[in-house]
Amino acid sequence: MAEIKNASSTTGPDTTPGVRARRKAQRPQEILHAAFDEFVERGYTATRIEDVARRAGVTKGTIYLYFQNKEELFHDVVRKLSQPIFNEEQFLSEHQNRPPHELIRLFLDTVYEHMTVNPYSREILRFLISDGRSFPELTMAHYNEFVLPMLTMFQNLVERGVREGVFRPGAATSESSHILLSPALTLTIDKLLDCQTNLPQLGDYVNAHYDMIMRNIQK
């Protein structure tokens, strides 16, 4: 029995080389998630590297093995924890037989779920609003990688409806896309402010937004 006990203690799940290698590979992601939680609670300025290390269960020195400083850590939190809302090609492939107005509704449902339910999307927007001036290149990268593709996809869906004779000619412009999608950003900001206003139920809000879009683009 003693020999079995000794063998298990030296080759247990936490000490094998393979497990240690996997833990090391996961560590940067664990640090990013810990940093995200600290930035949410304290804000960028008040967050300290040692606080992130404590939450991640590592030493301060371990964090510096992966991230040069707090600025780089913040940069990676925004870039690597953000998830694009859509893969346009996949979206159209999955819904290729749906009419244009149904595609618009599915698009809206996905946007609202991502922007109001997904905690990373919601809180990273808060980061960029509060600290974006200190990271202009990060704000621009976030816009180009996440916001612009969403606007472009919406414009493409409207253009598809125009070609099929469902939506009115001239309805698909970059300016109108910004305006017609702005209620989604408004609701997200209202939730971030948490000002205890009597916000409508999400389903009612999305329905009203969809009706507004349809009144503006239908032929």
User: Does residue 11 carry a pLDDT above 90?
Assistant: no
The structure's pTM equals: 0.74
User: Does residue 48 carry a pLDDT above 90?
Assistant: yes
pLDDT tens figures, 102-152: 999 999 999 998 877 777 877 888 888 888 888 888 888 888 888 888 899
pLDDT tens figures, 98-114: 999 999 999 999 999 88
pLDDT tens figures, 50-67: 999 999 999 999 999 999
Cβ atoms of 133 and 126 within 8 Å: the answer is no
- Is the sign of the CA dihedral 23, 46, 119, 131 positive or negative? negative
CA 39 to chain centre: 15
The angle at the Cα of 88, spanning 87 to 94, to the nearest 5 degrees, equals 90
With 0-12 CB in 10 A as exposed, 13-18 as middle and 19+ as buried, what is 2? exposed
- Nearest 5°: phi and psi at 72? -65, -35
Q: Which of 16-20, 23-27, 44-48 is least confident? A: 16-20
Task: Label residue 6 by pLDDT band (50, 70, 90).
Answer: very low
